[in-house]
Amino acid sequence: MTDTRNFFTDCIMTWNRVKNSRTMPWKGEKDPYRIWLSEIILQQTRVEQGWPYYERFIAAYPTVSHLAAAADEEVFRLWQGLGYYARCKNMLAAARTIAGAHKGRFPQTYEGIAALKGVGAYTAAAIASFAFNLPHAVLDGNVYRVLARYFGIDTPTDTTAGKKLFTQLAGEVLHLQQPGTYNQAIMDFGAVVCKPQQPLCQSCPLAARCEAFLKGLTDLVPVKSKKLVIRKRYFNYLLLRRNGQLFIRKRTEKDIWENLHEFVLIETPAPAADETVLQSPLFQRLMGRHAYKIAAPAVEIKQQLTHQTIHARFLQLSVPAGFKTPEGYLQVTEAQLKNYAFPKIIVDYLQR
């Protein structure tokens, strides 16, 4: 088994040195702030999507102190389109912890890094190894897949037993002298060779000893025990126009898109026609005795989140000058909308 593990580590390191041509602006970076920023952005985000955001954040906030001093709304606006806004909220909290409690100096131990808001085991290991060459193995989706296939492991990765097994194995095959280089290499290997679909098994340097390849199990591992349940939600957004201005509010509920802005929202349990939405108790209370007029046909947009599918319907209404601003709402011009952060689905609508 030791020989099998040594072969694995040596192959990954050799492939990285000879064949790995994957480029990203944060590769080889030693500044823990920049590494942390890239890792937070790339959580649940594809590299191609996160890349321009990383560059914009570095340009706007070159140090953790700059980020810590920024206004929340400004940072959320820059994050707009990346989704999973809790990441952004946690990132701001962590930056302010570093600027305050750590006097602007990024923690230099795994434990110190892991204690930051929004930093889990994977992110802490990545920062510790890339910035400080500390011997901590990363374990993300790419690494799970490479290890599961090579060692032929069918223990589900989303179980306690599976996480323990893969964590131990990832540590055992870690290159202790060059942990940062190895960690980046195995993630790159999973992204470009041992891919989820159509892996390059015929040219893979691990193929000669890969259990999944030799036994025809490549498409069957890694295994997950839980099937993802997708919830469908139906959002009916009402753009109420009064004298050329619109009403928006900040989402404060513990739900998706917390701290982002939106128009008047009426959520329904199923798709609803305009008449149904406009006859709802919530809308009737909002309008009172005021008349209104549908200003444009409804526009429908769908957004797929990890656990939810959002079906949004946007309807523009003209309301009279006597209509009062609803409690909790702001009245803004269309030009002022750019000063507020909105969920991607609303941004997509506004760009139309």
Specify whether 39 is catalytic: yes
Query: Which residue intervals of the chain are DSSP H helices?
Result: 2-18, 32-42, 47-60, 64-69, 72-79, 86-100, 110-114, 121-132, 141-151, 160-172, 179-192, 211-215, 274-278, 281-287, 344-351
- Assigned token pair, 219: 């498409």
With H, G, I as helix, E, B as strand and everything else as coil, classify residue 54: helix
Of 39, 172, 253, 262, which is the active-site residue?
39
- Short-list 248, 233, 251, CA closest to 76: 251
Contact 322, 290 (CB under 8 A): yes
Q: Helices 32-42 and 47-60, interaxial angle, to 10°?
A: 140
- Do 48 and 27 contact (CB within 8 A), yes or no? no
Catalytic residues: 39
